[in-house]
């Protein structure tokens, strides 16, 4: 299937049209959200935050995937590396959308911004939870992520034209910087944008829990894009072995996500201290369906299906599971955001689905645009050949 000599993705008009269509659906949903009375303001902003955060997470996850494998001197993933690299391109776009969301919707999203209403606990948190500092952090996060992600991808692409090892070394240094920066900001951003919705509530694990969700959904997205690319006739070197490894990741990180979810839940359930249980009480009692659906989609299904070696090596099965997990983590963030912001008015209607379709379209558009700009194969990567020749047994 060597039909593409340069191994470049051709972002043809057919695909573009589909994505435009999806974006259009999103825009319509946005308008519906703006003008429909059924969509209360908090619901409107909450959904923007949800999708912004989710697709930002995928973009960050892509960059993190690359960075952490580079740091670990891992070889097998180099042949698919261009996909997560391209995913990282969405970070600045997410930043802009997020900024707009916050500029107009922050008061609907975070009740701690309401300083007029005195609250002793929130007053104590004010040195951290105040809008000025919030935006400063916002700026730091996006600046750091965007710049590092950009240069990391650039170093990788530069390598295509120049086989000098210096790019590889540069890439490794950038990876380290990104991983360290991300290690801190992944937690703090999760506190800022998600945990502070339920501003009285706190959990030390929260940042890592959100991070684990980011990992799984990123893997799911990579799998889905890879399958798409293969169906389009690209990436013929991506074989069952790669898929198997990605499937193992999907399996393992689903377990990791469940582990962290359970750790947090168990410890809060066990001590049953009101200031902590309030978070879960709200979700178990008032959003019980989503609460359990979340666990089924993100753990039970991937765990049971991907347990066997064969299912991980079957593109169709892994693809379906990836799709479920992709949707599942949207549900997970939905459950994190909605009860705190929208409360009883939480609904899933055209607005939610349309908006999400729009975001998927936009995200893919940017990823595909990125993929089309460079070779799909980092042929000069020192470990590229390793990636082509390896077997995975279990």
Partner 1 sequence: MKEITKYISAYYLDEEDLLSGIKKMQENNVKVLDAFTPFPVHGLDKVLGIRRSWLPRVGFIGGTIGALTGFFFQMWVFTEGYQMNIGGKPLLAIPSFIPVTFESAVLFAAFSMVFAFLFRSRLGLGAENKIYDVKSTDNHFVVVAGYEENKSDDVKEKMEAAGATIIEVKE
Partner 2 sequence: MEKKYYKSIEEYQPIDGSPNNYKNLAKNHIGIDEPVSGSPSSRRDFLKLFGFAIASAAVVSSCEQPVRKAIPYLIKPDAITPGKASYFASTFFDGNDYSSILVKVRDGRPIKIEGNKLSSVTKGGSSARVQASVLSLYDTARYKNPAISGVEAEWEKADAEIIENLKAIKQSNGKIVIVTPTIISPSTLSVIEKFIEEYPATKHIQYDAISANAISLANQSVFGKEVIPSYQFHKAKVIVGFGADFLGTWLMPVEFTKQYSKGRKVGHNKKEMSYHAHFEAGMSLTGSNADKRIVTKNSQQKIVIANLYNEIAKQLGENTIEIPASPVDVHDVAQRLLAHKGESLVVCGSNDKESQVIVNGINYLLGNYGSTLDINSPLNLKKGNDSEMETLTKELNKGEVSGLILYGVNPAYNYQNAKGFLNGLKKADLTVSIPSLKDETAEECKYLCPDHYVLETWNDYEIKPGNYSLSQPAIRPIFNTRAGQETLLKWAGVETEYVELIKSNWKKNIYPSSGFSGSFRDFWNTSLHNGVFEKAVGGNLEINYSKSAIPSGIETESSEGLELELVESVAVGDGRQANNPWLQELPDPTTKVTWDNYASISVRLAEEMGITEGDIISIDKQLSLPVLIQPGQEHKTISVALGYGRTNAGAVAEGVGGNAYPLVQHNRQTRIYSKTGVKVEKVEGEHEFAKTQSHHSMEGRPLIRETTLSEYIEDPASGNEFHEKVKHHATTLYEKRKFEGHHWGMAVDLNSCTGCNACVVACSAENNVPVVGKEQVKLAREMHWMRIDRYYSDDIENPEVVRQPVMCQHCDNAPCENVCPVGATTNSSEGVNQMAYNRCIGTRYCNNNCPYKVRRFNFMDYTQSDAIPLNTYDPAGMTVDLKRMVLNPDVVIRSKGVIEKCSLCIQRIQEKKLDAKLENRQLEDGEIVPACAQTCPADAIVFGDLNNKDSKISKFFADERNYHLLEELHTLPSVGYLTKVRNTEAKATKKKEIKH
Partner 3 sequence: MYVSPQREPLIKGEKDYATITNDVTAPMAGKPGKYWFMGITISTTAFLLGGVATFFTVWFGIGTWGLNKTIGWGWGITNFVWWVGIGHAGTFISAILLLFRQKWRTSINRSAEAMTLMAVACAGFFPLIHMGRLLVGFFIFPYPNTRDVWVNFNSPLLWDVFAITTYFFVSLLFWYVGLIPDLGTIRDRAKKVWQKKIYGFLSFGWVGSARHWSRHESLSLILAGLAAPLVLSVHSIVSMDFATSVIPGWHTTIFPPYFVSGAVFSGFAMVLTLLIIARKTMNLEEYITIGHIESMNKIIIATGSIVGIAYLTELFVAWYSGVEYEQYAFLNRATGPYWWAYTIMMTCNVITPQLFWFRKIRRSLVATFIISIFVNIGMWFERFVIVVTSLHRDFLPSSWTMYKPTLVEVGLYVGTIGLFFTLFLLFVRVFPVIAISEVKSVLKTSGEKKK
Site of interaction with partner 3 (CB under 8 A)? 72-76, 120-121, 124-125, 128, 165, 168, 176, 180, 183-184, 187, 191, 200, 202-208, 248, 252, 255, 259-260, 263-264, 266-268, 270-271, 273, 275, 382-383, 385-386, 388-394
277 binds, among partner 2, partner 3, partner 1, none (CB under 5 to 8 A by kind): partner 2
Question: What is the nearest approach in angstroms of partner 2 to the Cβ of residue 125?
Answer: 16
320 binds, among partner 1, partner 2, partner 3, none (CB under 5 to 8 A by kind): none
Pair 187, 213: CB distance under 8 Å: no
Half-sphere exposure of 291 (CA within 13 A, CB side): 13
CB of 180 or CB of 266, closer to partner 1: 266
How many whole angstroms separate alpha carbon 216 and alpha carbon 219? 5
By the rule CB under 8 A, 317 interacts with partner 2: no
How many whole angstroms separate alpha carbon 237 and alpha carbon 197? 45
Pair 187, 205: CB distance under 8 Å: no
CB of 51 or CB of 318, closer to partner 3: 318
Over the window 249 to 288, marking each residue x when it contacts partner 2 by CB under 8 A and - when it does not, the resulting string is: -------------------xxxxxxxx-xx-xx--x----
Question: What is the nearest approach in angstroms of partner 2 to the Cβ of residue 307?
Answer: 30
Closest residue by Cα to residue 137 from 166, 102, 169, 108:
102
Question: What is the nearest approach in angstroms of partner 1 to the Cβ of residue 255?
Answer: 11
How many whole angstroms separate alpha carbon 361 and alpha carbon 16? 9
Question: What is the nearest approach in angstroms of partner 3 to the Cβ of residue 208?
Answer: 6
35 binds, among partner 3, partner 1, partner 2, none (CB under 5 to 8 A by kind): none
State the greatest distance between any 2 C-alpha atoms of the chain, in Å, as a whole number. Answer: 67
Q: Which stretch binds partner 1 (CB under 8 A): 106-114, 169-177, 303-311, 327-335?
A: 303-311
Question: What is the nearest approach in angstroms of partner 1 to the Cβ of residue 209?
Answer: 16
Pair 98, 189: CB distance under 8 Å: no
How many whole angstroms separate alpha carbon 361 and alpha carbon 237? 27
Count of residues for the chain? 394
Burial class (CB in 10 A: 0-12, 13-18, 19+), 70: buried
264 binds, among partner 2, partner 1, partner 3, none (CB under 5 to 8 A by kind): partner 3
Q: Would you say the C-alpha torsion 360, 233, 324, 300 has a positive or negative sign?
A: negative
How many C-beta atoms surround the C-beta of residue 142 within 10 A?
20
CB of 118 or CB of 391, closer to partner 2: 118
Q: Which stretch binds partner 1 (CB under 8 A): 85-93, 213-221, 232-240, 264-272?
A: 264-272
Distance of CA 393 to the CA centre of its chain: 29
Total residues interacting with partner 1, rule: CB under 8 A? 10
Question: What is the nearest approach in angstroms of partner 1 to the Cβ of residue 217?
Answer: 24
Pair 159, 168: CB distance under 8 Å: yes
Continuous segment of H or E residues that includes residue 169:
helix 165-193
Question: What is the nearest approach in angstroms of partner 2 to the Cβ of residue 282?
Answer: 8
By the rule CB under 8 A, 117 interacts with partner 2: no
By the rule CB under 8 A, 34 interacts with partner 1: no
By the rule CB under 8 A, 12 interacts with partner 2: no
By the rule CB under 8 A, 266 interacts with partner 1: yes
216 to 30, 39, 149, 226, 379: CA distances (angstroms): 28, 30, 19, 15, 27
3-class DSSP state of 151 = helix
Binding site for partner 1 (CB under 8 A): 262, 265-266, 269-270, 307-309, 391, 394
Binding site for partner 2 (CB under 8 A): 268-275, 277-278, 280-281, 284
């Amino acid at each position: 299937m060597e039909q593409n000599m340069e191994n470049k993705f051709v972002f043809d008009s057919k695909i573009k049209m589909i994505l435009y269509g999806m974006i259009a659906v999103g825009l319509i949903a946005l308008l519906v959200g703006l003008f429909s009375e059924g969509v209360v303001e908090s619901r409107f902003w909450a959904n923007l935050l949800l999708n912004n955060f989710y697709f930002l997470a995928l973009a960050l996850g892509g960059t993190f995937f690359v960075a952490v494998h580079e740091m670990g001197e891992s070889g097998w993933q180099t042949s698919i590396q261009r996909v997560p690299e391209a995913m990282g391109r969405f970070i600045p776009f997410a930043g802009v959308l997020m900024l707009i969301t916050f500029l107009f919707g922050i008061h609907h999203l975070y009740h701690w911004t309401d300083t007029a209403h005195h609250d002793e606990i929130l007053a104590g948190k004010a040195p951290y939870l105040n809008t000025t500092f919030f935006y400063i952090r916002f700026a730091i996060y996006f600046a750091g992520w965007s710049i590092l992600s950009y240069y990391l991808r650039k170093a990788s692409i530069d390598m295509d034209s120049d086989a000098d090892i210096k790019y590889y070394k540069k890439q490794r240094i950038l990876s380290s910087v990104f991983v360290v920066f991300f290690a801190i900001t992944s937690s703090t951003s999760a506190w800022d944008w998600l945990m502070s919705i339920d501003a009285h509530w706190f959990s030390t694990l929260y940042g890592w829990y959100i991070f684990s969700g980011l990992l799984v959904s990123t893997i799911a997205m990579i799998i889905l894009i890879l399958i798409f690319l293969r169906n389009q006739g690209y990436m013929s070197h991506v074989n069952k072995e790669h898929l198997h490894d990605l499937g193992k990741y999907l399996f393992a990180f689903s377990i990791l996500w469940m582990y962290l979810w359970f750790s947090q839940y168990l410890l809060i359930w066990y001590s049953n201290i009101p200031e902590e249980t309030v978070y879960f009480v709200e979700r178990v009692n008032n959003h019980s369906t989503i609460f359990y659906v979340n666990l089924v989609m993100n753990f039970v299904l991937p765990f049971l299906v991907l347990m066997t070696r064969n299912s991980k090596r079957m593109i169709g099965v892994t693809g379906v599971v990836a799709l479920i997990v992709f949707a599942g983590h949207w549900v997970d963030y939905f459950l994190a955001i909605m009860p705190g912001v929208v409360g009883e008015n939480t609904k899933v209607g055209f607005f939610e689905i349309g908006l999400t379709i729009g975001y998927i379209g936009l995200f893919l558009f940017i990823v595909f645009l990125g993929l089309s700009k460079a070779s799909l194969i980092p042929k000069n990567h020192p470990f590229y050949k390793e990636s082509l020749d390896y077997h995975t047994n279990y």
